[in-house]
């Protein structure tokens, strides 16, 4: 299976500094010839490399904004976190108006389908199979489990995320209004790279209902530029009705799903390292009595996505302020547009599930006996390596190097400790050792190091 990945490395900018390699939670990155390279089978598009890179060599692919104009009917699928990027004095209606002005005829908020998503999720919680049930809301977490915790894939709830449910809803609504299916373009505004991958290579279904993805930071800049151009001359046109309920606004925050869960014992965990630490305990049967897990890869969940523009804590505060405002309207009996989704309840609920999530195949070999043989070789090599995970070999850990030796043509002499040991025993020349280092870190970097006036090493 070919996986689409939004995260890419610009080799002309990459310095091969290994910052990205060290933070990758699935050990998907290696340094070769002085440049970082991503193993596409292991990458989960979490964005940790994007954050860690000091040279801005890691970038996120997005669809060209002009792609929207290929469709006569254009829909912006906007998450609540996008509206949370703007200060409280910039109204939701003003942002909607600008999105209309720059090309979208319809603006719909992603979380409008949250009530249906929650209903189906709670049904599964009542059934109580495969505990703890794990939310499918965060695509980076789904892919993390596929790659790193394949034994837990059956615990993932095979439910479409609100993003996909809302895309289904708006397509059906527009088709019912007379638009041909192929003339409707649905574009999602994403706060992270993982959701781009989820749209381009969906898990559990062949094709997404979303036609394209626009990075949130780039769209924020477009909208904010319009706001600055308008200045104080802008005349507010209030929206007749709010789109989201107060609960739906908070769905993409940490505890957003848990607070609506009926599970007796549920937990919310954010941050990829925290999630991995907890899943290791689940995998080892060290956790008991947990019914439901809301897991998010980013700190503070979606407000902490790598494509958001503003501070995640300020974004959370603005979203809470908006939820409180809408809650006041709800208490006064004012309706929201969520009622429109409820009118399509049966259709959406009949199409809300996906196929069971499968592990992502990164086996050592398709042949079981050969895979077992390779595994034994890896265990032997691990004992020969120093297990200090220095990364000088271009792999993130000694265990990763052992696997690379068996599967990817690397050698035991790639380890700097093995090299120094062989040099001390006169079984390897310094020149040979430098050639090995050159293979990993590149000729230019090694030559610059040798020529440094602070060193007395000569060629």
Task: Report the pLDDT averaged over residues 265-271.
Answer: 96
Which positions ≥6 away from 368 have C-beta within 8 Å? none
Predicted confidence at residue 452, as pLDDT, reads: 66
- In the chain, what is the straight-line distance between the N-terminal and C-terminal CA atoms, in Å? 47
Which positions ≥6 away from 348 have C-beta within 8 Å? 113, 116, 165, 168, 169, 341
Distance CA 140, CA 111 (A): 18
Q: Burial of 6 by CB count in 10 Å (0-12 exposed, 13-18 middle, 19+ buried)?
A: buried
CATH number of 1-60: 3.30.70.20
User: What is the per-residue pLDDT across 301-354, written as a single tens digit (0 to 9) for each?
Assistant: 999 999 999 999 999 999 999 999 999 988 888 888 888 899 999 999 999 999
User: What is the per-residue pLDDT across 104-143, written as a single tens digit (0 to 9) for each?
Assistant: 999 999 999 999 999 999 999 998 788 999 999 999 999 9
**Is the distance from CB of 300 to CB of 316 less than 8 angstroms?**
yes
Predicted confidence at residue 21, as pLDDT, reads: 96
Distance CA 308, CA 390 (A): 33
Residue that the structure tokens 């989201």 belong to:
244
Task: Report the pLDDT averaged over residues 289-295.
Answer: 95
Provide the residue ranges of all domains of the chain, joining segments of one domain with +.
1-60, 65-350, 363-459
Confidence grade of residue 456 (pLDDT, cut at 50, 70, 90): low
**Is the distance from CB of 387 to CB of 380 less than 8 angstroms?**
no
User: What is the per-residue pLDDT across 223-239, written as a single tens digit (0 to 9) for each?
Assistant: 999 999 988 777 777 77
CA dihedral 437, 439, 442, 444 (to 10 degrees): 70
Confidence grade of residue 455 (pLDDT, cut at 50, 70, 90): low
Distance CA 294, CA 266 (A): 8
Q: Burial of 103 by CB count in 10 Å (0-12 exposed, 13-18 middle, 19+ buried)?
A: middle
In this structure, of 8-12, 121-125, 449-453, the range with the lowest mean pLDDT score is 449-453
Beta bridge partners of 242: 336
The closest of 111, 434, 115 to 301, measured between CA atoms, is 111
**Is the distance from CB of 357 to CB of 160 less than 8 angstroms?**
no
Confidence grade of residue 363 (pLDDT, cut at 50, 70, 90): low
User: What is the per-residue pLDDT across 401-424, written as a single tens digit (0 to 9) for each?
Assistant: 999 999 888 999 999 999 999 999
**Mean per-residue pLDDT of the chain:** 91
DSSP symbol at 427: S
Residue that the structure tokens 């547009």 belong to:
337
Q: How many other C-beta atoms lie within 10 A of the C-beta of residue 458?
A: 7
């Amino acid at each position: 299976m070919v996986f689409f990945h939004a995260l890419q490395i610009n080799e002309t900018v990459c310095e091969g500094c290994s910052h990205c390699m060290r933070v990758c939670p699935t050990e998907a990155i290696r340094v070769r010839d002085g440049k970082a390279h991503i193993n596409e089978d292991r990458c989960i598009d979490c964005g940790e490399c994007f954050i860690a890179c000091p040279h801005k060599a890691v970038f996120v692919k997005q669809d060209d904004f002009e792609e929207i104009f290929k469709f006569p009917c254009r829909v912006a699928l906007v998450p609540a976190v996008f509206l949370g990027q703007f200060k409280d004095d910039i109204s939701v209606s003003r942002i909607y108006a600008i999105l209309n002005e720059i090309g979208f005829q319809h603006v719909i908020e992603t979380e409008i389908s949250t009530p249906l998503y929650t209903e189906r999720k709670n049904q599964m919680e009542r059934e109580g199979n495969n505990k703890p049930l794990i939310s499918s809301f965060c695509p980076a977490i789904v892919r993390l489990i596929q790659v790193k915790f394949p034994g837990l894939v059956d615990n993932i709830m095979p439910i479409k995320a609100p993003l996909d449910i809302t895309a289904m809803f708006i397509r059906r609504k527009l088709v019912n209004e007379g638009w041909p299916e192929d003339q409707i373009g649905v574009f999602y505004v994403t706060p992270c790279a993982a959701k781009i991958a989820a749209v381009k290579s969906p898990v559990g279904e062949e094709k997404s209902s979303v036609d394209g993805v626009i990075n949130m930071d780039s769209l924020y800049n477009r909208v904010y530029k319009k706001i600055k151009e308008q200045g104080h001359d802008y005349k507010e046109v209030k929206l007749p009705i709010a789109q989201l309920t107060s609960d739906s606004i908070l769905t993409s925050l940490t505890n957003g799903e848990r607070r609506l869960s009926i599970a007796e014992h549920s937990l919310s965990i954010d941050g990829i390292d925290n999630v991995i630490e907890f899943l290791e305990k689940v995998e080892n049967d060290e956790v008991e009595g947990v019914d439901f897990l809301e897991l998010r890869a980013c700190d503070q969940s979606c407000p902490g996505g790598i494509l958001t523009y503003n501070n995640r804590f300020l974004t959370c505060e603005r979203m809470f302020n908006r939820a409180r405002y809408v809650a006041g309207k709800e208490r006064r009996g004012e309706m929201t547009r969520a009622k429109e989704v409820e009118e399509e309840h049966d259709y959406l609920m009949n199409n809300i599930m996906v196929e069971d999530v499968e592990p992502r195949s990164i086996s050592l070999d398709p042949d079981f006996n050969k895979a077992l043989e390779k595994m034994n070789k890896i265990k032997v090599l691990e004992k020969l390596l120093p297990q200090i995970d220095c990364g000088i070999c271009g792999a993130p850990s000694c265990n990763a190097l052992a696997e690379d030796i068996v599967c990817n043509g690397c050698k035991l002499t790639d380890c700097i400790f093995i090299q120094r040991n062989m040099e001390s025993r006169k079984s390897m020349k310094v020149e040979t050792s430098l050639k090995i280092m050159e293979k990993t870190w590149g000729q230019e970097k090694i030559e610059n190091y040798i020529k440094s006036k602070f060193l007395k090493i000569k060629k």
